[in-house]
Amino acid sequence: MLSTKNLSGDIFGGMTAAVVALPLALAFGVQSGMGAIAGLYGAIALGFFAALFGGTSTQISGPTGPMTVVSSAIIAGEIAIYGSVENAIPTIVATFVLAGIFLIIMGIAKIGQYIRYIPYPVVSGFMSGIGFIIIFMQIFPFFGMKSPSTIIDIFTNISDIIDGVNLEAVLLAISTIAIIYLFPKITKIVPSALVALIVLSIVAYLMKMDVAIIGDIPKGIPDVHIDTLLGMDWHHPMNLVIPALTLAALGAIDSLLTSVVADNMTKTQHNPNKELIGQGIGNVAAGIIGGLPGAGATMRTVVNIKAGGKTRLSGMIHSIVLLIILFGAGAYAKLIPIPVLAGILITVGIGIIDYKGLKHIVRVPRSDAIVMIIVLVLTVFVDLLQAVAVGLVLASLLFMKHMGDIAEANAFSSMLDDYYKMHSKEDEQVIPEDLKGQVYIQHFDGPIFFGFTAHFKKMMQELPDVRIVIFMMDNVPSIDQTGMYAIEEAVLELQKKGITVFFTGIKEQPLDMLKNIRLIPNLVPEDYIFESCSDALKALEFYKKEKKEE
């Protein structure tokens, strides 16, 4: 339900966010290969519907650096197949709309809550990689030349800059970067990127500079591509599904990271699954009108909050302001020089790089540094989604190894006599003397999972000649399937040797797991399950009598 309690703050926040969004939307549109208008359409449609249906009250959505990088690759690939943007539009639109549908499905499936488990090194490497891609993609436009479509081509053809450099373009790009960084020292009321865009566009026009410009921008209501979608050739669906999944996964990560930033600033709590649904609806709407896909935009969201935006009205007002600008300023926007947009995007790329993570790379654990570097390199030179996937798998494996190492280091085995030399207790006196040398203590510390079971099996193989083994599980919060079967196998092997097994201090989850496979009571009777090691030791006298009677 929309609230008007903060109407003045939402109006000012939305208007300010729109002013910041305008140059970025135009720049991302040009970088994508679909033209500046695609970026503006995406900002308008996505910004409005994501705000209306999303789960973060202050979120401002639109084309972002990461989403534009992926979109550019998709668009370039389709143009290579079909020969032109016009011929490739059906496939491009279908991919963007499908990405929105996947986001909606992710929200309905409540996947949003799992994004928080992405490790920092993966996010850091990914965001820094995106920043470098944006910068690299603007090297040629910075010098007044058309950029190759891939990073590899950029480095392969870097020598072409020497022969084709346009000094007027370089001057405009450098001036843009200088204004963006220096103008805030004068005032922060007006966004410096907008100042650079307007001032340098006027200068380039009046001085008749020989530089590339955006060119004609369509006027009026955008075309709705429903017929295009209905006429699509769906004989090779995976050609659409894989790129769409990439966009959806990236959009989810990008949006929910921004939502966390918004929560920290406003002391609120976003609804991650509702946010994904809102982003999905917005991306479907943007795709249908030929706009770029996008996500929650951190910088625009921060600007909105600082300017007074508190409810979803601010995001909707941001889109309405951009729509008004589209109708009134299209004739002037076509005169914006491409080098100015290149300068703006270079500062965006610089801002995305995680300098904190890079600065601490020699101080963080080596495993984290390795993950971050691998994700960064794969992001720049291979593929964004593959980079995140590899990073997640690698980070998970390293974490499991770390947890396994901790469990191994803290677990210990000892004879009962040795155990009591380290852990003196009053009830030691109740232990039968002839059993003291026949009782073995196996102490666990941490979860018993697949990363620990190899060490556990080795410990069981090195077991001395005893009559009783006590598994102390006071510090075992959980057992996975591998650990469960490892314990079962150990109990069976011990019983073959005539060794009795006691369990002490077993928690609810491990107990349920062992009961589920009938290890308790089929292999270990419930009478042999004790609250503490002291209880188990006190029961040894009864165990001795029971064995004599047998």
213 - beta bridge partners?
A: 337
Of 379-388, 460-469, 509-518, the range with the highest mean pLDDT is: 509-518
Q: Please report how many Cα atoms fall inside a 13 Å half-sphere around the Cα of residue 316, on the Cβ side.
A: 15
- pLDDT tens for 415-462 read 555 555 555 544 444 455 666 667 788 778 777 776 666 667 777 777
Structure-token pair, residue 81 = 């197949």
List C-alpha distances in Å: 335 to 22, 216, 217, 219, 352: 15, 8, 10, 15, 28
Tokens 């865009």 correspond to: 197
For residue 442, give the 3-state DSSP assignment. Answer: strand
Asked if 495 contacts 523 with a C-beta cutoff of 8 angstroms, the reply is yes
For residue 134, give the 3-state DSSP assignment. Answer: helix
Question: What integer pLDDT is reported at residue 429 of this predicted model?
Answer: 45
| Cα–Cα distance measured from residue 380 to residue 133, given in angstroms and rounded to the nearest whole number | 6
Which of 29-33, 59-63, 409-413 comes out lowest in average pLDDT?
A: 409-413
List C-alpha distances in Å: 477 to 445, 449, 474: 9, 11, 8
| Cα–Cα distance measured from residue 442 to residue 284, given in angstroms and rounded to the nearest whole number | 58
Q: Where in the chain is the domain with CATH 3.30.750.24?
A: 411-549
| Angle made by CA atoms 322, 326, 330, in degrees to the nearest 5 | 145
Mean pLDDT of all residues in 398-408:
65
Structure-token pair, residue 25 = 């939307």
Listed residue (3, 11, 123, 18) closest to 60, CA to CA: 18
Mean pLDDT of all residues in 284-301:
91
Structure-token pair, residue 544 = 């001795």
Predicted TM-score (pTM) of the model is 0.71
pLDDT at 406 over 70: no
Question: What integer pLDDT is reported at residue 179 of this predicted model?
Answer: 93
- pLDDT tens for 40-53 read 999 999 999 999 99
Q: Which residue has the higher pLDDT, 37 or 229?
A: 37
Phi, psi of 4 (to 5 degrees): -110, 15
- pLDDT tens for 156-208 read 888 888 888 899 999 999 999 999 999 989 887 777 888 888 899 999 999 99
DSSP state of 272: H
Asked if 474 contacts 505 with a C-beta cutoff of 8 angstroms, the reply is yes
| Cα–Cα distance measured from residue 331 to residue 4, given in angstroms and rounded to the nearest whole number | 34
Asked if 28 contacts 292 with a C-beta cutoff of 8 angstroms, the reply is yes
- pLDDT tens for 522-534 read 888 888 888 877 7
DSSP state of 480: -
| Cα–Cα distance measured from residue 55 to residue 271, given in angstroms and rounded to the nearest whole number | 5
Tokens 């929910």 correspond to: 256
Structure-token pair, residue 188 = 């922060």
| Cα–Cα distance measured from residue 524 to residue 175, given in angstroms and rounded to the nearest whole number | 78
Question: What integer pLDDT is reported at residue 200 of this predicted model?
Answer: 93
Burial tier of 511 (Cβ tally within 10 Å: 0-12, 13-18, 19+): middle
- pLDDT tens for 210-269 read 998 877 777 667 777 777 666 666 666 777 888 898 899 889 988 988 888 888 778 888
Question: What integer pLDDT is reported at residue 407 of this predicted model?
Answer: 56
pLDDT at 549 over 60: no
Question: What integer pLDDT is reported at residue 283 of this predicted model?
Answer: 96
CATH classification number, 411-549, choose in 3.40.1410.10, 3.30.750.24, 3.40.50.300, 3.30.365.10: 3.30.750.24
List C-alpha distances in Å: 332 to 19, 29, 198, 390: 15, 16, 10, 45
| Cα–Cα distance measured from residue 331 to residue 336, given in angstroms and rounded to the nearest whole number | 10
